[in-house]
Amino acid sequence: MARLIESLATTTALAELFSDESVLQALLDFEVALARAEARLGTVPHAAAESIAAVAKVEAFDIASLSHDMLRAGTVGVPLAKALTGRVREKDAEAARYVHWGATSQDVADTALVLLLKHAQPILAEDISRLELALAKLSDDHKNTVMLGRTLMQGAPPITFGLKAAGWLGAVYRCKRRLDSSFAEALILQFGGASGTLASLGEQGSAVAAELAKELGLACSEAPWHAHRDRLAHLLCACAVLGGSLGKIARDISLLMQNEIAEVSEPGGQGRGGSSTMPHKRNPIGCALTLAAAQRVPGEVAAFLSAMVQEHERGVGGWQAEWAIVASVIQSTGLAVASMAEVVEGLLVDAARMRTNIVVTHGAIFAERAMMLLAPKMGRDTAHKLIEEATRKSAAQEKNLSDVLAEMPQVTAHIELSALRQLEVPEQYLGSAEIFRKALVSSARGNPKQEK
């Protein structure tokens, strides 16, 4: 369960993943895996490894006491090793000698964090897949739904809602690829001992590292990375870019939900989207949660990047700052993805309202089309000035642009009235919208070749 203060910043699954119990288990998993790996290589007795594994259970530890001791020690490793050694000693005094054998505090802290990231990846991936499928369907369903294009928050030539959804999909797909690549790099063992040389293990250092990585299901790095945080930084940056792309979708949808626009609306439901004082409200809650995450994460990533400047073989203050940052970024990213998946899966689209919002512009958004029809006859600059004059008259008289143009001899001398009557048909001024839409959807579906 998420704490109340985190209720708008995580999902249930990720709150459980980064709970005290889950974090402690990840720390203990490192210690057990280390003992077993070393036992297989003969570095420690097999009996010792099994004794360590037998007591390395979350329920055997006082989490509140451990948390207090970790704060006092300034690291998770020392109090953990001490507490685990004490529990093992109660069972097998000889085995207690081999707890945390050859490791250093940062080894257990970093690897536990990586293990948590390993478990987070499929949680994020599942919701990203949901979102991609929902966006692809939304795009296909509305490939012929015309709507206003909007540039600088003003009405522009028409597009299709299918193209807009495909644009959202393309961004999510690209972000997913970057995120997958970043996870592949970040899910890597940290094991270097005191100075990153594993000197305490003699000639077996690299062999123990390889066996330990195998035991934990992680990649084995070429060398320990205590003071080199680039892999984690790359992952968090990928999360931030994904969050920004999700925030763009949320911003678009929340703007389209405004009462005066009313082209789409989030799915409702018991307890969702209401107001404590205004019973009529249907608020963009999923969008709000996503936008909050998109605003929160960049600052956290910036803090992580600042902490990358670490001293020599192991830094002071830099990596100690990371746990809370990484946990927050991953949870915020997961909440944003899950929120947008829910929004898009149930998004209500008012195609009739989209067309109405085109109509109420009195054809002004087709000014470019009219100019391009006249430009070959009189030059672009002259045509631009003429159409600009016509749009002013259209707005002042609340008449359609095509009707105003039909009253202008300079226009009718070059454009037939039948053509002017077709000027404001949005389906006739969509350009390559469908080509672009198909290309985006096809790429996201794993088929880079454009659909026929």
List of residues 6+ apart from 386 with CB closer than 8 A: 374, 378, 408, 410, 411
Catalytic residue among 314, 339, 394, 437: 314
Backbone phi, psi, residue 101, to 5°: -65, 115
314 is catalytic: yes
Which residues fall within 8 angstroms of residue 154, CB to CB, at 6 or more apart? none
Q: Give the separation between CA 84 and CA 362, rounded to whole angstroms.
A: 75
For Cα atoms 437, 441, 118, give the angle at the middle one, nearest 5 degrees.
145
Q: What does each C-alpha distance from 299 to 93, 228, 308 come to in angstroms?
A: 48, 21, 15
DSSP for residue 259: T
Distances (CA, A) of 357 to 124, 350, 352, 370, 394: 37, 11, 9, 20, 16
Judge whether 394 and 400 are in contact, CB under 8 Å. Answer: yes
Pairwise CA distance, residues 132 & 123, whole Å: 15
In the block, residue with structure tokens 């990586």: 114
- Coil, strand, or helix at residue 36? helix
Q: How many other CB atoms sit within 10 Å of the CB of residue 27?
A: 26
* Residue 418 annotated in active site: no
φ/ψ of 283, rounded to 5, equals -80, 155
Question: Of 65, 275, 306, 432, which is the active-site residue?
Answer: 275
Q: How far apart are CA 135 and CA 283, in angstroms?
A: 21
Instruction: Give SS3 for 150.
Output: strand
Conformation bin of residue 186: beta by default, left when phi > 0, alpha when psi is -120 to 50: alpha
- Per-position DSSP letters for 170-235, written without gaps between them: HHHHHHHHHHHHHHHHH-B----TTTTS-GGGGGGHHHHHHHHHHHHT-B--SS--TT--HHHHHH
Active site residues: 275, 314
